[in-house]
Amino acid sequence: MTTSRTDVLRDQFELVWALLDYHLERLDDHDFGWEPAQLTWNVRADGNGGWVPDWADSEPDPIPVPTVAWLTWHIGWWWTVAIDHGRHRTPHERTEIRWPGPGSATIAWLRDLRAQWLDILDTLTDAELDAPAEFPWPSDAGKAVVHAVAWVNAELMKNAAEIGQLRLLRAANTAGSDAIPR
């Protein structure tokens, strides 16, 4: 039996997606904005019907705990840019990525990004997998598209685990409030 690199990467992606989707299906609107610590990164209403993610151009120390809202925006941002590269389009700027808000709109957005990513995976040839990658590394990093596809799987797995852990912590919180007992 011969298995292509694309088949392996797609199978891995489907496993990772199943883990994320397990948590997405169980989120409620209040899970998105729950802040589990005093120092968090969240997505905040901008007063004009939109949302603005917390951001720092250099990583703060200590690192803020991201909320489900921030993590879903973050997935939408990096995945949109990965799709842009996969389709050979000018990549979106971080500030152009709009979070749809808590609940079903965000889940639908992520599911649409999944469908777009699968369209790319389904058409990748071996030659395209071996082409130089421009994302998420600098173009002179010596990485190929196959590395970028594997990175998407790894980054999505990390974000799925973070979302799952936040969802479970909030559900297990027995204090009756949105704060972790100290």
Question: Is residue 178 one of the residues assigned to a domain?
Answer: no
Q: Across the chain, what does the average pLDDT equal?
A: 92
| Cβ 54 vs Cβ 44: under 8 Å | yes
Question: Is residue 124 one of the residues assigned to a domain?
Answer: yes
Question: Is residue 156 one of the residues assigned to a domain?
Answer: yes
Question: Is residue 142 one of the residues assigned to a domain?
Answer: yes
Question: Is residue 181 one of the residues assigned to a domain?
Answer: no
- Its domain, for residue 116, covers 5-49+62-172
Question: Is residue 54 one of the residues assigned to a domain?
Answer: no
Query: For residue 72, what is the domain's CATH number?
Result: 1.20.120.450
pLDDT digits (tens, 9 = 90+) for 120-159: 999 999 899 999 998 888 878 899 999 999 999 999 999 9
Question: Is residue 177 one of the residues assigned to a domain?
Answer: no
**pLDDT at position 182, please?**
37
Name residues of the chain where pLDDT drops below 50.
175, 179-182
Instruction: Please tell me the total count of domains within the chain.
Output: 1
**pLDDT at position 120, please?**
96
Question: Is residue 123 one of the residues assigned to a domain?
Answer: yes
